[in-house]
Amino acid sequence: MTLSKTLLATTALTVAGGAVAAQEMADSMTLVSWGGAYQSSQQQAYVEPYIENNPEVSATWDESSNEAVAKLRAMNEAGNITWDLVDVVASDAIRLCDEGLAMEVDHDELLAPGEAEDGSEVDPSDDFGDLIVSDCYIPQIVYSTTFGYRTDMVPEGADAPDEICDVWDLETYPGKRALEKRPINNMEWALLCDGVAKDEIYDVLATDEGQDQALAKLDEIKDDVIWWSAGADTPQLLADGEVFMGSTYNGRLYSVIEEQDQPVGMMWDAQVFDLDGWIIPEGLPEDRLARVKDFVRFATDTQRLADQAEYISYGPARETSAPLVPEDMKQHMPTDPENSENTFLYNYEFWADYRDDIDAKFQSWLAQ
């Protein structure tokens, strides 16, 4: 059934080629995302309502965002783009855009205007504001990387950890820590706890001495670190009691605490904000592009982004969506004023320029 449909579609494409009318839309989409709770929030907030309105459409998920850049390169080389819409973090979007693998979009033309509380319309480019970090990028949510800790492993007589530097305090809080196996975030946290002022961190990190300083600080806890690479690792390690504290995405911690009822607490101090959003691959055939544009306009409107916050504790990227987020979810949002007293915004430009160098240094430090 599906096989013959695919074959038919392929034949139709090769035969008809550009003759397909611009208004004609493909009736299947392949969406690429991260799996887990995040993907299911997208499914519930955007895809299900969209399919309800357009019953002829079918959507398939591919949980490949992790290797999106590599796969899109291979698809481009093979001349066979099988993805329609790809969910990536901002830094990947910038790379894909630079390499010409993602399509540049006019945000004001493509996206729905924001619906402000007073009923007025806001231009999408104003509504998303600074979060449009690349011409190809359509942001959806703001998430943060932050620490969670086992509440039942806090030593007697000690307060629960509430500062980023408690990660380095092995005396008060003995036990293993889980840190991501990459320099990003770890280097910033290390410098911050080594007494560097927050607004000077990237200046310091740009120098060789600054990088050595950060690694020296990380050296203090290196023996007690378990390095993670997938977002699910830290929740698993915390649930096992393998680590006392660990960094991961705030939505993962939310699910560990609220949905899985594990004895885990949140530490919001020095959380690092990052973005997640869509890109449209370059080179889609016209009918598929038309369908994707229609879907993306719907999926990123004010209401849909606010709906997503019902299912996962990530902040909507539109300013106009914020007031619509349910009250009981607001306290779990990384952007909530109580949680965001001390935050970082991941510095894309810095890491775009320095990532390769610092990565090499970090990896050789890890191997020592």
Partner 1 sequence: MATPNVVITETRTMPYGFTCGVVAAAGAFFGLFVGTAQGSGLVGIVLGAAICAGLAYLAMAYLGTAQERAFKWGVVALFALAGLLIGGVPGLVVGALFGWFLGWFIYWVGRCRYRMALPPYLTGGQVLWHYSFRVICGAIFVFLITPILVVMPLSFNAENFFTFTPEMLSFDPEGYSLRHYRNFFQSNEWQSALRNSLIIAPIATLLAVSFGTLAAIGLSQPHVPGRQVIMAILISPMIVPLIISAAGMYFFYSRIGLQGTYLGVILAHAALGIPFVIITVTATLVGFDRSLTRASANLGANPVTTFFKVQMPLILPGVISGGLFAFITSFDEVVIVLFVGSANQQTLPWQMFTGLREQISPTILAVATILVGISICLLTTVEILRRRSEKMRGMSPG
Asked if residues 148 and 352 have their Cβ atoms less than 8 Å apart, the reply is: no
Task: Determine the interface stretch with partner 1 among 71-79, 145-153, 187-195, 314-322 (rule: CB under 8 A).
Answer: 71-79
Closest C-alpha to 335, from 306, 307, 304, 314: 314
Number of residues that bind partner 1 (CB under 8 A): 35
Among residues 27, 44, 50, 62, which is the contact residue for partner 1, using CB under 8 A?
62
For residues 295 and 97, is the Cβ–Cβ distance under 8 A? no
Site string for partner 1, 5-44 (x = CB under 8 A): -xx--x---x---------------x-x-xxxx-------
61 lines the binding site for partner 1 (CB under 8 A)? yes
Site string for partner 1, 240-269 (x = CB under 8 A): x-------------------x---------
DSSP string covering 167-199: GT-TTTS-S-EEEESSSTTHHHHHHHHTT--GG
Residue reference for tokens 């611009």 = 22
Q: How far apart are CA 55 and CA 53, in angstroms?
A: 6
CB 291, min distance to partner 1, A: 15
| CB-nearer residue toward partner 1: 22 or 78 | 78
The distance of closest approach from Cβ of residue 121 to partner 1 in the complex, given in angstroms and rounded to an integer, is 35
* Residue (of 242, 268, 277) closest to 344 by Cα position: 268
Is beta strand 245-249 parallel, antiparallel or unpaired with respect to 177-180?
parallel
Among 60, 172, 342, 364, binds partner 1 (CB under 8 A): 60
Binding status of residue 232 toward partner 1 by CB under 8 A: yes
Which residues between 301 and 340 bind partner 1 (CB under 8 A)? Answer: none
Phi, psi dihedral angles at 28 (to 5 degrees): -140, 150
Residue 151 engages partner 1 in binding (rule: CB under 8 A): no
In three-state secondary structure terms, 272 is strand
Least distance (Å) between residue 101 CB and partner 1: 16
Contacts of 52 (CB under 8 A, 6+ apart): none
Q: For partner 1, which is the closer residue by CB, 74 or 216?
A: 74
Judged by the rule CB under 8 A, the positions of this chain that interact with partner 1 are 2-3, 6-7, 10, 14, 30, 32, 34-37, 60-64, 66, 74-75, 77-80, 82-83, 230-233, 235-236, 239-240, 260
